[in-house]
Amino acid sequence: MSFAYIGLGSNLDNPTDQIRQALGELARLPLSDMVGASSLYATPPLGPQDQPDFINAVAALQTSLSPLALLDQLQALEQHHRRQRRRHWGPRTLDLDLLLYDQLALDTPRLKLPHLHMHVRAFVLVPLYELAPGLSLHQRPLGDWLAKLDSAPIRRLVDTDVTPTAAI
């Protein structure tokens, strides 16, 4: 079994519910077990600012799926949530990003691991660090990357029914 971290984001059609539902769907992926999930976070949009704030989270999976098979499953879930790609960094019902897959470094036209630019995106690192504070990225502790970022605009939601799992 391999260990994978999935970034979740939504800012359309009741984003909190979109993320809750997606977490449940991730827990039911074939050949996979969800072993943890972060809290939900409200974050300002990256890129165009003429859109609602996002709700973001990170989930951890143990999986026997290959990285590309897992990516296929994630993209199928996005389609199930009626994801439309109309504008780069635009609004979306659900965005699922394969952030890390074990310590694999991969650079293909369909998939780059670790996820490109995740080390400079607080909306990814804050929930990832909550879930797995001992992780390293590019041979540096996750906390070192996070310390360089402005995480002030990111607000942890405490009134949701998604309970974060213990750090892994």
| Residues marked as catalytic | 82, 92, 95, 97
Give yes or no for a contact between 40 and 160, defined as CB atoms under 8 angstroms apart: yes
**3-class SS string, 151-165:** CCCCEEECCCCCCCC
Q: From residue 103, give the alpha-carbon distance in Å to each of 2, 67, 88, 97, 135.
A: 10, 12, 28, 16, 10
Give yes or no for a contact between 41 and 152, defined as CB atoms under 8 angstroms apart: no
